[in-house]
Amino acid sequence: MGTGESVTPRGSHLSVRTGLIALCSVVIAVLAGALTFLGDRRLASSVVAGVVAFAGAFMFFDKIIGD
């Protein structure tokens, strides 16, 4: 790069709000999956519980966390 040239910063792919919602949803999903596994000892039902918990938590946090 020569003198006077600047690099334009790349924009992020996700907003901070979306990242926060996804992080909270992943935490809820992992907890739901772990608790289901501890109670049931079946991996498939634990994964399904985690996916359902992620989807529900994502929709919930999307509604309560403002723009």
Summary mean pLDDT of the chain = 92
Q: What is the pLDDT of residue 21?
A: 97
54 vs 28: CA distance, rounded Å: 7
4, pLDDT greater than 70: no
pTM of the complete model: 0.81
Q: What is the pLDDT of residue 39?
A: 97
- Give burial (CB, 10 Å; 0-12/13-18/19+) of 33: buried
